[in-house]
Amino acid sequence: MEKQISIAIDGPAAAGKSTVAKIIAETLSYIYVDTGAMYRALTYQAQKNQVDLQNEEELLHLLNETVIDLKPSESGQVVILNGQNVTSEIRSAEVTNSVSIVAKHRAVREEMVARQQGLAKDGGVVMDGRDIGTHVLPHAEVKIFLLASVDERAQRRHDENIKKGFESNLERLKEEIARRDKLDSEREVAPLKKAEDAIEIDTTSLSIEGVVEKILSITKERIG
């Protein structure tokens, strides 16, 4: 049997991480872990319980009594929070625009990273996020850093919204993405950053298939 390795995919919002990570996991029969969904789930739970998002201690307390399960499904992955399916709720604008505040706290990140490392302990995993190559899986055999211009990323989210029949404002999306990029890359703890040994792929003018092909060929080389 081929060696079961770990693949870390990082990058800013809407660079295509989860789309390509899901396809790669499926192709290799690996598990897929969307770490952003875990921070989103905690943000959703904190908002529901009216926890102050600046209060690190209260957030950690809430996280310690929150079970977040990521289950594979036909559509990719469902997110179960204390037994409740919150897959679509965690994608709301309310959660999206506050998640980076929750994700900046050291204690929250330490607990999340421990859970994520537990999920990846047997290898055979594709994990996407912001700090996977730098902190969660520093020894991952394959590290990818996906990039695309802010204009292209906002356009992708806009197209996605229109396709789903949601209201969408391209200029607002651009501002929100740029704001989240700034918060994620300027925070003190585990900021969004390319790992030194990660391979950067600019996806601005690449198709999803093009990105998947590149990552699979890098992976095949490593599995060797």
Which two three-digit tokens encode residue 169? 């404002």
Length of the chain: 224
Least distance from ligand CDP to the Cβ atom of residue 30, Å: 17
Please tell me whether residue 13 binds ligand CDP under the rule CB under 6 A.
yes
Q: Known binder of ligand: residue 133?
A: no
Please tell me whether residue 131 binds ligand CDP under the rule CB under 6 A.
yes
Least distance from ligand CDP to the Cβ atom of residue 224, Å: 27
Please tell me whether residue 68 binds ligand CDP under the rule CB under 6 A.
no
Contacting ligand CDP within 145-184 (CB under 6 A): 156, 160, 180, 184
Strands 76-81 and 31-34: unpaired
Residues paired with 84 in a beta bridge:
81
Q: What is the pattern of x (binds ligand CDP, CB under 6 A) and - over residues 38-67?
A: -xx---------------------------
Please tell me whether residue 100 binds ligand CDP under the rule CB under 6 A.
yes
Please pick, from the candidates 199, 206, 216, 218, the single residue that binds ligand CDP as defined by CB under 6 A. 206
Least distance from ligand CDP to the Cβ atom of residue 99, Å: 4
Interacting span for ligand CDP (CB under 6 A) from 6-14, 81-89, 117-125, 213-221: 6-14
Least distance from ligand CDP to the Cβ atom of residue 71, Å: 17
Do 22 and 77 contact (CB within 8 A), yes or no?
A: yes
Q: Which residues are annotated as a binding site for ATP?
A: 11-19
